[in-house]
Structure 1
Amino acid sequence: MMSTVLLRLAINRLPMLRPHEKALLEEIVDSETFFHALTVGLLSQIVGRSIRDVPFDARSVLDLARRDAEFLRARTIAAIPVGDTRYPALLREIFDPPYLIYVRGTLPDGAIPSVAVVGTREPTAAAVAAARELGAGIARSGMPVISGLARGIDIAAHRGALSAGTTGAVLACGIDQVCPSSHRSVAAMILARGGFLISEYAPGVAPQKYHFPARNRIISGMARGVVVVQAPSRSGALITADYALDHGRDLFVHAAGIDGVSGAGTRDLATDGAMIVGSADDICAEWGIAPSVTSQTGRPGTIAEVVNADDVARSIAARTRAELESELRRTV
């Protein structure tokens, strides 16, 4: 009898399958012998569509899954299937939720709304400042900030949130990597501050162009609302905005990112009905949440407590960053 965990890890190593097809395959495969017998032709029959002929060796995939299991266990990385109670409830509701998510750190409490903050990789200085301030304001209100750890608006929002609370990053690569690698320190600080890194891609999987739109659906799927801070006409952030509308999420745009060529896409969203906000207080007011300047413990933090927390976080982050760098070298 093949263990369910091993089977799921192996199935998630089949990128030619869509999330619901992976779930279907899990229902059918009941032994290693069956898995070993899988071919592209048999997979096509099981899922009911023609799968392009790609190099595929079932035994090698199963060996990779065994290594994944050891890797995840050694680093306390969770592999959470869509039917698990730990799986984010809002994410499970979307049309194509990931079959399996790999998680480092602590997922947010589902009872507390999360806010996704996204935008262009080439923002104006004003938009960067707005994203950072927005991230901090959302975090101060006790809500996690979700973004993609990309250059520009994403990283500014993460850094702002880290100054006041927690944040989480959705990766377009394997859970053992950070893309771009220059953001490893921020990823480490996210974990040190009680946040999370999440990916639907197995360890060692390099980022591909098509991973980023897929990643964006998770960013939107995990949030109650999405804020596009600044986006030109063809920005990938507009894909996240489209997902937000498809998912029934609240869509906001930031007042600081509407003007000029860099804000053409943001401006279009506002014209189409997205609510314009200038701060986290506007989102709180829309949702009936009292803005808060206290820590998440419900009381203001003293200067001494903040300094001590930063010292502890930096110490943990240094160790986490070293681990991330070691894993990155292993996969190169």
Structure 2
Amino acid sequence: MGSEGSDERVIAGRYRLQAALGRGGMGVVWRATDQLLGRQVAVKELVPDDSPSAARVRSSRDRTLREARALAQLQHPHISVVHDVVEHDERLYIVMELIDGGSLADRIAAHGPVDAREAARIGVALLGALRAAHEDGVLHRDLKPANVLIESGTGRVVLTDFGVAQVEGATTLTESGTFVGSPEYTAPERMSGSGTGPASDLWSLGVLLCAAVSGESPFHRDSLGGVLHAVVAAPIRPPAQVGPLLPVVRGLLERDPDRRLDAVQAERMLREFLATGSTPEPTSLQRTQRDRLVIALLVAAMVAAGVSAAALFMTGGGGEGGGTPVSPTPSTSLSTSVSPSPSGPESPPK
């Protein structure tokens, strides 16, 4: 992972910050040296909120602590490790395992999309990480290429940035009417406010697989309203590049979370592809008359709540950056004139 600048300073009498590895809306990640143990680490610094509101400052602080606590309780080779949390000059810092290597988003930008086999390998690793997180009551809620690191030399896949994670039993940081996450990777049930669960992270994985092989999310549009419509109502067209991974992608991009592939099924299918070169069709997804009702119910829920596309995303904090940018547009409300589409994705054009 390249550095963006240098700022030699020591925090908490122990960690020497040496170079900025990346910056996002909520913080800066530094390459640093733990002078006590003599090892290289990554240090995430919370950027002070410019808002004079004491509530906003507390919210930013709580968000940092939430990420640290979420990561600290997870032990998995594909999840970044937290070593320490320190406070210095009234700023919080999370000291983490240093992963030498860029993100999947960096890799795609520099070298183009990956092939189906590499996407499957990445998918298997992320499914293991998500299963471990979900079993411990942690939902990531912001799975996207920018939050997946690929270690140089080993190719190890590491899920990072739990800044907007939802931890079971913890008070939510999102206020009423705000949204956290990256729109193009967010499940439709979260868009409609009808709830979130492990299945929502699996939808995001399906989008990530599409982006890995094609270079962008299939829900990328030029406006926030366009993204919202694409996720909730428009026909889902996986890119042709998904090729043999289509059965997995179709299963993960089911708009009805009850019919979506679970982590065990998805991992089994990806492993079979890696072993044999072919992917079995999922056995548990049966098309029903209920399909036509799913999108109508989601759209109706959003209309009833008076949710507008711009208000939904511009009032809440996104992830740590790195997603496909979308242009801000005036507030655009969905209306019931949107024609519902079937729940599942269409096959890509041949």
Tell me the TM-score normalised to structure 1 length. 0.29
Tell me the TM-score normalised to structure 2 length. 0.27
Higher helix proportion (structure 1 or 2) = 1
